[in-house]
Chain A
Amino acid sequence: MSTSAEHVEGHMEHRDDVASRMGVWLFLFTELLLFGGMFLVFAVYKYIHYDEFHLAAKELNSSIGALNTIILLTSSLTIALSITALQQGKKMLSIYLQVLTIVFAFGFMINKYVEWSSKISHGIYPGSEELLAKTSGEILFFGLYYVMTGLHALHVIIGVILIAFMTYGTIKNTINSDKYVRLEAAGLYWHLVDVIWIFLFPLFYLIA
């Protein structure tokens, strides 16, 4: 039999890690569907403009893409390790690993910047005369390239911000070996960013 006072405490600090995880998974599912909509558009246009999509894909630099894949996969490893480290009470190690994840994310973004600027300097960007002179399949390919990798990059940035908050929380001890569900959530989000890239990479860079 609990007292009402405890009820109030329970209300204000209601904690249910299973519910939190469930919420995170549902949210990730909506993210998958968000990108799913774009993959659908990509699939339809690839089907309609099969040859032109191949032609356009040849212009992408697959070594930069491969490098970014390696960077992102490694960062997924570091964030997973940081969660395990925290669960084992190794606070400093966890912080280092989180910071390392952020460093990798910056590496990814710098690579992306180099890649995009080289495309733009070649005159391939939405609305450019050079692009509009190409076939409609190529226009669509590069349109989707910018939208999909751009939105993915936005997710990378959001992920960095999230992880930065988690690092701050870990330093302040609000995230600790007993209460790490938020770090776990940020980690899951980061894996999602990774998973989406794993689909984007072959779709745009390899199938050419």
Chain B
Amino acid sequence: MSNSTFNSATDVSYLEYQGKHKGLAGWLLSVDHKRIALLYLFSVLSFFLVGLTFGFLMRLELIAPGRTIMDPQTYNSFFTLHGIIMIFLFVVPGLPAIFGNFFLPLVLGAPDVAFPRLNLLSWYLYIIGGAVALISVFLPGGPVDTGWTFYVPYSVRTNTNVIPAMVGAFILGFSSIVTGLNFVVTIHRMRAKGMTFFRMPLFSWSLYATSWIQVLATPIIGITLIMVIFERVFKVGIFDPTLGGDPVLYQHLFWIYSHPAVYIMILPAMGVISEIIPVFSRKTIFGYKFIAFSSLGIAFFGSLVWAHHMFTSGMSTTASIIFSLLTFLVAIPSAVKVFNWVATLYKGSISLEPPMLYALAFIFLFSIGGFTGLIQGALSVDLHIHDTSFIVAHFHYVMFGGTGFGIFAGLHYWFPKMFGRKYNLKVATGAFWALFVGFNLLYFPMFIMGWLGMPRRYYDYLPEFTIYHQISTYGSWILVTAVLVMFGNFLSAIRKGEKTSEPNTWGGTTLEWETTTPPPLLNFKEAPVVTGEPYHYGDAAESAGKEAK
């Protein structure tokens, strides 16, 4: 029992807590992981809207062959900026930095992350990195037009502002490393009493795997970008073939990071789904250890498959075959997760609230994205569909249909806990269906036209592709509308939504639902003690479950 005196750090919600700094400084200088998470939430989603705008305008350009609304150079810059923003500023930091920050300490029963000040630093690095990357739009020379992959030799030769974009990406990588490092140490050192590794919720497992990739893979892209920057600034010969360099080596180094990075993006989303599925089917998760280890399995195998991005770049056939085989192997731990989620649903008491809708859509869209990934992993097929819009469709299905929907799922799931407000369920459900329909209209035609030979990143196309491009563009209108409705729903909920102090909105069994809503500064009135597994529905485990002492 706590003593009877009123204490603002455990009795008042973190939103109302008055620390050393007041007002805006109370947010910008706060080291509270929950406030930092909200800083991330608003900045990440703002960048998402910018990226969405670029994507929307690109789609509009492609509604008809030839010039529609922009010139080819602008189009090149748009797909580059769209990629840089969506990847480095939205999907990579999205889940770990927003929900990892907010909920990792909560699900572990900890008062904060291991290094709170480092946590705030990582947000500042994120903002600085984002600003530097976007400055290239306004500098003379024009925005970067290399594609988000910065392939040499073009990135060494183009006169556009490649350097700010690369410096921005480097700083963002640093931010990502700091977050990952913080989470690894947090998971090792800050777990509540009694919470063994196998009593951790699966979201923490997925963050654990993610954080290791962030720590181990990000330095490689950091140094690669630095080398290209040196090459541009000082004319050092490293990758430029005219100076004896090997551009394919650049591609290797780039993908050594950037392929594991796609698992940085998808793993935490899988973690969110693993949290939501048991809650909304009122069943203990099926195959806890398999899901936990499959995260590590994905992280491990995912680090060994990078060269499947380079089947047409001129590697030896032996290397290509090995990388193709390893690519197929990644499908195993991914499928383990999908089967376990479906097995959890089996005979469950399923309620289709918005978080669950997003989770189910995740399984559906991710499965399509995953299977089409296997198609491209097959060496002979990849030679035909490499660099077509098939690949664009594939990675939007896994990155947007997977991670994007995972972020939205998490937002709908945890929003009441974060803000102590309820959002409009009907609007959320409507926005979900519109998003789901718009998404498939937008991206599915890309599979077809890619299969028929429509190259990616092309400004113009042959008339026979018109119908697919048109459907895709119509889909983008629905999708953008749905996203705006969803965000509008949240914003109005934050401003005037019905207040709720119900600790357990959905009937979850993990620790974040045991504290008050919204949580106090120190998260729990009393440090929780864990005595059982994280998920326990409909069996004796319920009574034997963890209890706060």
Contact = CB atoms under 8 A, between A and B. Distances in A.
A31 B219 contact: yes
Contact of B215 (A3, A30, A44, A144): A30
Interface string B173-191: 0000100011011001110
A147 B226 CA distance: 9
Interface in B497-549: 521-522, 525
Q: Of residues A26, A29, A143, which shows the largest number of chain B Cβ atoms within 10 Å of its Cβ? A: A143
B114 A8 contact: no
Interface in B208-224: 215-216, 218-220, 222-224
B356 to A, nearest CB: 35
Interface string B241-268: 0011110010001001000000000000
Contacts of A16: 114, 189
B1 interface: yes
Nearest to A3: B3
Interface residues of B, number: 48
A172 interface: no
A161 interface: no
B184 A26 contact: yes
Contact of B522 (A8, A44, A49, A147): A8
B350 interface: no
A127 B234 contact: yes
Contacts of A38: 223, 227
Given A4-B9, A11-B111, A38-B227, A143 B219 contact: no
Contact residues of B: prevailing secondary structure = helix
A14 B2 contact: no
Given A41-B238, A136-B244, A19 B185 contact: yes
B243 A140 contact: yes
A1 interface: yes
A107 interface: no
A21 to B, nearest CB: 10
A143 B232 CA distance: 12
Interface residues of A, number: 44
A102 B3 CA distance: 51
A117 B386 CA distance: 48
A48 interface: yes
A140 B189 contact: no
B9 A147 contact: no
Given A37-B224, A49-B244, A140-B245, A19 B2 contact: no
Contacts of A187: none
Contacts of B521: 11
Interface string B297-339: 0000000000000000000000000000000000000000000
A204 B168 CA distance: 31
A168 interface: no
Contacts of B244: 49, 135-137, 139-140
A48 B220 contact: no
Given A30-B219, A136-B237, A147 B230 contact: yes
Q: Of residues B188, B219, B521, which shows the largest number of chain A Cβ atoms within 10 Å of its Cβ? A: B219
Interface in B379-419: none
Given A11-B521, A41-B253, A126-B235, A23 B115 contact: yes
Given A4-B5, A8-B7, A33 B235 contact: no
B352 interface: no
Nearest to A134: B244
13 contacts: A5-B5, A5-B7, A7-B522, A8-B7, A10-B111, A22-B185, A30-B181, A30-B219, A37-B224, A126-B235, A127-B234, A127-B235, A135-B244
Interface of B: 1-3, 5, 7, 9-11, 111-112, 114-116, 118, 177, 181-182, 184-185, 188-190, 215-216, 218-220, 222-224, 226-227, 230, 234-238, 243-246, 249, 253, 256, 521-522, 525
Ordered nearest first, which 6 A-B pairs have the shortest CB separation?
A136-B244, A127-B235, A37-B223, A4-B7, A33-B219, A126-B236
Given A3-B3, A8-B9, 11 more contacts: A5-B5, A5-B7, A8-B7, A23-B118, A26-B181, A26-B185, A37-B219, A37-B224, A41-B238, A127-B234, A144-B238
